[in-house]
Structure 1
Amino acid sequence: MTTFDEREIAFENKFAHDAEMQFKASARRDKLIGLWAAGLMGLSGEEAAAYAHEVVRAEVKGAGEAAVYRKLSADLGERADEATIRKTMQSMLAEAKDQLMTEIN
C-alpha cells in the first residue's frame, strides 16, 4: 500500500468519525432542548423524557435542525419566541459537544 493510499484511508476514516460525532451531538442537543421545552410546558419525569424523545425523532424524520425548530415553535407557542429557541438550540449543541468530549476522554 502506498503512502497516498494510506492517507486516503485515513481521510475517509476521519470523515466517517466526524460525521458520527456530529450525528451524536445533534441527537444529544435535541434531547437536551426537548427537556428544556418540556420544562417550559410543565412536563416532568417520564412525560418530559417522552417529549424529549419526540424532539429527537423530529430531526431524524424531518429535515434536520429545521424540523426540530418547527416542532419546538409549534409546541411552545407563546412560551418562547424564535430568538430564544434558536439561541437555546445553539447553547444546547455546545453543551452536547462538551458532554461527548468529556465521555471520550
Structure 2
Amino acid sequence: MTILEKREEAAEKEYVTKLEQTFRVRARRDRLLSRWAADLIGRRDVDAYFGEVMTAGLAEAGDEGVFRKIWSDLQSVGASIEQEGLRETMRKFSLDAAQQVRLADADQQRSS
C-alpha cells in the first residue's frame, strides 16, 4: 500500500468515525429531549415517544423535524414554554449528549 493510499484510507476512517459520532450524539440528544418532553406532556411511554421523535427527526434534515414534533406536542397540552426556550433546551441536551458520547468512547478505548 502506498503512502497516498494509506492517507486516503485514514481520511476515510476519520470521516466515517465523525459521521458515526454525530449520529450517536444526535440520537442521545433526542433521547434526553424525549424524556424531558414526555414528562411535560404527561407521556409515560417514553420509549415509544422517543421512537416518534426519532421518526420526526429523520423526516426532515437537521433538527427542525425534532423541534416541530416536540413543539407541537408541548403546544397540544398547553405547556408554557417559548420556542426559544425549546431551542435552548435542545442546545443544552446537545452539549450533554456530546459529553456523554465522548465519555463512553473514552471508556471503550480504555477497556480495549
- Regarding TM over 0.5, the answer is yes
* 5+ long unaligned stretches in structure 2: 107-112
For 2:86, the equivalent position in structure 1 comes to 85
Shift of residue 62, structure 1, vs aligned partner: 2.9
Tell me, yes or no, if the aligned pair for 1:73 and 1:81 is still in contact at 8 Å.
no
Amino acid at match of 1:55: V
Question: CA deviation digits over 1:65-84, x for unaligned, max 9?
Answer: 11001111111014221111
What is the alpha-carbon distance in structure 2 between the residues aligned to residue 100 and residue 12 of structure 1?
Answer: 21
Which shifted more, 12-21 or 63-72? 63-72
Unmatched tracts of structure 1, length 5 or more: none
Q: Is 1:96 paired with 2:97?
A: yes
- Which residue of structure 1 aligns with residue 70 of structure 2? 72
Residue in structure 2 matched with residue 6 of structure 1 by the alignment? 6
Amino acid at match of 1:72: I
Structure 1 stretch displaced more, 87-96 or 35-44: 35-44
Cα deviations across residues 74-105 of structure 1 (Å, max 9, x unaligned)? 11014221111100111111111111111111
1:61 to 59, 62, 69: 59
Provide the identity percentage: 34
Structure-2 separation of matches of 1:17 and 1:29: 18
What residue number does 1:16 align with?
Answer: 16
CA distance in 2, matches of 1:73, 1:31: 15
Shift of 1:40: 1.0
* Letter of the 1:56 counterpart: M
Work out the number of aligned pairs and report it.
103
Q: What is the RMSD of the two structures over their aligned residues, measured on CA atoms?
A: 1.3
